A = this chain, B = another copy of it.
């Protein structure tokens, strides 16, 4: 991965959720899944200021309710327990009781109050957790072990093809501050759908309200701007834990270096989000859509999401077909106000539409843009200030295979 990072903000080589001071993590196999690791945990030496964002799906899974209750208590967390294989969604009172027990057992093992623990799950909808396996799994956790972030990253995956992690570091008040992150994306586990989970750790000292705002704002520009198939899961969640061990002055929006922190957090969110999109089910490439000139940022977000979500755009990119008409069509049905005659469109470096009309372009040059590892679609839709970037992937035979034949 190559990224442009502000000079003040440095990417940590092989950085992850244990890069910030005071965090450990691990993962193991407890038996929810046949062979793959299925139980991961994060622990902070000190209670950490915490914030979260959660799925808007009405069928919010039990662990999300428990986690929100934990954070609401003291606005802090000291540990996170995550399982893959079963989502604990649509599981009613028993599912809720299981999520509470998972929190209780993990907290006891970590010697922290239950309200300092968060719970997350991803996998099957409508099945109960095999609590005997969860219990014996939690009993095996050893928080004194050396940091094993890669085991955590692996334990939270479903049909993702690779682990996703990142860390950045920068100075605040002359202190080194680090932000790390891990995520899992779109894996199909029968009979569930893609679930997006993100976990961010930092040793920054930060005001809780400011942290919640920063997370929400950054999520809207990163995790909420990716799509694999437009289906919002019951279990989506992003958590951030800030344990203050960097010993900077408390960060708030008034802090002179607030923007540095915000930018660092954004880089972590964006990289995790992009890796989820790139690793979408059956995906062979990352697609990035840049929209500028919209009336507002919200309008630009709606337009870029319409483009990135179009099955016709996604299949055309899969086939490396410079089907600009499908992009124009998606802009046209995005329900935003714009003048079609002011629309410009490029596929990578190749201009294809000017003033809403096609312009002659070299087919071979356009094709070369579309066989890249990362395909860029750049649209200008007027002379407004609104801009947005969205990420997604192509739609392949493999997507259909994964999702049509899981049980057959």
C-alpha spacing A283/B233, complex, angstroms: 26
State which of B194, B318, B333, B395 has its C-beta within 8 Å of the C-beta of A57.
B333
Q: Are B231 and A310 in contact, CB atoms less than 8 angstroms apart?
A: yes
Q: For residue A322, which residues in chain B have a CB less than 8 angstroms away from its CB?
A: 191
Q: A125-B325, A408-B321 are in contact. Are A403 and B232 (CB under 8 A)?
A: no
**Copy number in this complex?**
2
Q: Are B193 and A329 in contact, CB atoms less than 8 angstroms apart?
A: yes
A4 at the interface (CB under 8 A from B): no
Chain A residues packing against B (C-beta within 8 Å)? 56-59, 89-92, 124-127, 188, 190-194, 229-234, 309-312, 315-316, 318-326, 328-333, 335, 338, 340, 353, 356-358, 395-397, 399-401, 403-408
Most buried by B among A89, A90, A230: A90
Q: For residue A400, which residues in chain B have a CB less than 8 angstroms away from its CB?
A: 315, 318, 395-397, 399-400
Query: Nearest chain-B residue to A404 (Cβ)?
Result: B319
Q: Are A406 and B319 in contact, CB atoms less than 8 angstroms apart?
A: yes
Q: Are A312 and B234 in contact, CB atoms less than 8 angstroms apart?
A: no
Query: Nearest chain-B residue to A333 (Cβ)?
Result: B232
Q: For residue A90, which residues in chain B have a CB less than 8 angstroms away from its CB?
A: 325, 328, 340, 353, 356-358
C-alpha spacing A353/B322, complex, angstroms: 44
Q: Are A408 and B320 in contact, CB atoms less than 8 angstroms apart?
A: yes
C-alpha spacing A319/B315, complex, angstroms: 20
Query: Nearest chain-B residue to A310 (Cβ)?
Result: B231
Task: In the A-B complex, list the 6 residue pairs whose CB atoms are closest, starting with the nearest.
Answer: A319-B404, A125-B325, A315-B403, A126-B358, A57-B332, A232-B333
Query: Nearest chain-B residue to A309 (Cβ)?
Result: B230
Q: For residue A59, which residues in chain B have a CB less than 8 angstroms away from its CB?
A: 328-329, 331-332, 340, 356
Q: A232-B333, A321-B406, A333-B56 are in contact. Are A92 and B357 (CB under 8 A)?
A: yes
* Nearest-Cβ distance from residue A235 to partner chain B, whole angstroms: 10
Query: Nearest chain-B residue to A56 (Cβ)?
Result: B333
Q: Are A230 and B311 in contact, CB atoms less than 8 angstroms apart?
A: yes
Q: For residue A329, which residues in chain B have a CB less than 8 angstroms away from its CB?
A: 57, 59, 125, 192-193, 231-234
Q: For residue A56, which residues in chain B have a CB less than 8 angstroms away from its CB?
A: 333, 335
